[in-house]
Amino acid sequence: MWAAYQYWKPFEAYAVERILADHQEAVIDLGGGHSVQEDPALFARVRAALARVRNVVLRQPSPDLEESVRILTVRRPPPEGFDWHRHFVTHPSNHSLAKLIVYNAGQRAEQTCDAPYQRLFQVTS
């Protein structure tokens, strides 16, 4: 699986570039992996594409990385063979790219949806 993952990383970097070029006024969910790049050249491409984006939000359960991995594993166990949750949560790419981090452990779905908006626009309830 790791070999396949490495193979598709250039395609993911390209996808980030294209979708951001084609959809400047949209909310785009990259999931956990498109922005995680082990190759410095691919990461530079993703960073350059996201540099033009005003609000890059990282959403994860907790500021404690181990707690985030635990929560994500309970929510959806990773397939056998590789701990994708641990890889994506602990890899430095997403934290490096984020301009805002929102933690959602213990929140209802509507709270999770509203949190970035409230933080970005200082909306009070």
Mean pLDDT by 10 residues, the chain (125 residues): 90 96 88 91 97 90 96 90 91 94 85 76 61
Whole-angstrom distance, CA of residue 47 vs CA of residue 50: 5
| pLDDT reported for residue 125 | 52
| pLDDT reported for residue 116 | 75
DSSP for residue 57: E
Q: Quick one: which of 69, 55, 34 has its CA closest to 101?
A: 55
Task: Judge whether 42 and 9 are in contact, CB under 8 Å.
Answer: yes
Q: Which domain holds residue 104?
A: 2-121
Whole-angstrom distance, CA of residue 29 vs CA of residue 48: 17
Q: Is 105 left (phi over 0), alpha (psi -120 to 50) or beta?
A: beta
Total number of domains constituting the chain: 1
| pLDDT reported for residue 117 | 73
Tokens encoding 21: 């070029």
